[in-house]
């Protein structure tokens, strides 16, 4: 749950950082599981592993970044028995997002941003609602996200940058540039002139909750350290899309008690080791 101060900060800035949302063991599990999944994307030696690799590689997407770079991530619209789903369902996130959005929420999607050392591409200025309202047919901006740092995020490895207070400018027109939905540069420039730019440097396991209209971007990763982050996204139950899309319609989210998160991670790691 967010404190009143944290909620006030979220209302004012459109984002709030929560340090150490996940403890060291939970965070290590996330890193280990994500690293094992990433390895599956590489050509596998055994037929069994190849099958798994294909399944995992099928999920990994890559977008241009307008400057020759490649921004890689995977995204899942569904929840399963895996650790990422357990995190997406845990109360410390879902209850907080419900406070932010003022009512019941359900899972929209979750995604792992795989900004690799030296090669990870940039993300251009955008609002998530800038494309969710189109591809997901949600009428209201009653949507939000929680981004959890898997490894240390710094300016050097392309941490998230946000314009504090930009969630209040309302929906900006977005165009596709190199595959990415990007906000109208004239309006972005005006916002950059008027609002504080904040680099979200986070320790592993720390997180930022943010509003779907918050303008955000990130630089390419020129450092020797990867910058991976899990982003769990939610829609308010009262904002059920007015048309079908690949995103699930409102389905009640079965919340997971916080003390169960570590068990889900240990279970998955054991399964992956067998």
Ligand X SMILES: O=C(O)CCC(=O)C(=O)O
Contacts with ligand X, residue ranges (CB under 6 A)? 113, 123, 128, 160, 216, 218, 229, 231
Q: How far is the CB of 273 from ligand X (least distance, A)?
A: 29
Spatial distance between the Cα atoms of 110 and 75, rounded to a whole number of angstroms: 6
Provide, rounded to whole angstroms, the least separation between the CB of residue 198 and ligand X: 14
**Do residues 10 and 214 make contact, with C-beta atoms less than 8 angstroms apart?**
no
Q: Which is nearer to ligand X, 160 or 253 (CB)?
A: 160
- The single-letter DSSP state of residue 256 is B
Q: Judging by beta carbons within 10 Å of its beta carbon (0-12, 13-18, 19+), is residue 136 exposed, middle or buried?
A: buried
Cα separation of 108 and 3, whole Å?
24
Question: Which lies closer to ligand X via its Cβ, residue 53 or residue 221?
Answer: 221
Nearer to ligand X, 18 or 113 (CB): 113
Residue number with the shortest CB distance to ligand X? 218
Q: For ligand X, give the closer residue by CB, 136 or 264.
A: 136
Measured from the CB atom, the residue of 38 and 128 that comes closer to ligand X is 128
Q: How far is the CB of 202 from ligand X (least distance, A)?
A: 12
Smallest distance, ligand X to C-beta of residue 218, A: 3
Burial class (CB in 10 A: 0-12, 13-18, 19+), 46: exposed
Q: How far is the CB of 51 from ligand X (least distance, A)?
A: 28
Q: How far apart are CA 134 and CA 102, in angstroms?
A: 23
Question: Cα–Cα distance between 26 and 244 in angstroms, integer?
Answer: 35
* C-alpha dihedral sign at 262, 90, 58, 181: negative
> Cα–Cα distance between 63 and 221 in angstroms, integer?
15
- Closer to ligand X by CB, 146 or 229: give it: 229
Q: How far is the CB of 56 from ligand X (least distance, A)?
A: 19
The backbone torsions φ and ψ at residue 80, rounded to the nearest 5 degrees and listed phi first, read: -135, -150
- Output 105 or 200, the one with its CB closest to ligand X: 200
Tell the smallest beta-carbon distance from residue 153 to ligand X (Å). 9
Sign of CA dihedral 26, 30, 35, 41: positive
Question: What interhelical angle do 91-101 and 4-13 show, nearest 10?
Answer: 60
* Comparison of 144 and 264: residue with beta carbon closer to ligand X: 144
DSSP per-residue letters across 184-210: -HHHHHHHHHHS-EEEE-B-TT-EEEE
Q: How far is the CB of 248 from ligand X (least distance, A)?
A: 18
């Amino acid at each position: 749950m967010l404190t009143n101060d944290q909620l006030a900060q979220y209302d004012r800035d459109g984002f709030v950082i929560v340090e150490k949302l996940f403890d060291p063991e939970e965070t290590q599990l996330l890193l280990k599981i994500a690293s094992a999944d990433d390895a599956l994307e590489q050509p596998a030696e055994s037929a069994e592993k190849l099958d798994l690799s294909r399944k995992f590689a099928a999920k990994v997407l890559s977008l241009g970044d307008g400057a020759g770079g490649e921004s890689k991530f995977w995204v899942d619209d569904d929840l399963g028995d895996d650790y990422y789903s357990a995190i997406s369902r845990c109360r410390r996130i879902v209850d907080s997002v419900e406070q932010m959005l003022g009512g019941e929420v359900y899972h929209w999607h979750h995604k792992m941003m795989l900004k690799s050392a030296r090669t990870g591409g940039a993300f251009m200025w955008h609002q998530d609602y800038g494309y969710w309202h189109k591809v997901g047919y949600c009428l209201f901006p009653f949507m939000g996200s929680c981004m959890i740092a898997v490894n240390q995020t710094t300016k050097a490895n392309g941490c998230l940058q946000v314009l504090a207070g930009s969630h209040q400018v309302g929906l900006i027109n977005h165009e596709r540039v190199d595959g990415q939905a990007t906000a109208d540069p004239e309006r972005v420039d005006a916002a950059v002139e008027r609002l504080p730019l904040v680099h979200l440097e986070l320790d592993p396991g720390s997180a930022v909750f943010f509003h779907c209209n918050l303008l955000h971007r990130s630089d390419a990763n020129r450092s020797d350290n990867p910058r991976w982050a899990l982003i769990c996204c939610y829609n308010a139950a009262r904002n059920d899309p007015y048309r079908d899309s690949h995103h699930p319609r409102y389905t009640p989210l079965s919340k997971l008690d916080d003390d169960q998160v570590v068990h889900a991670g240990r279970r998955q790691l054991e399964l992956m080791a067998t």
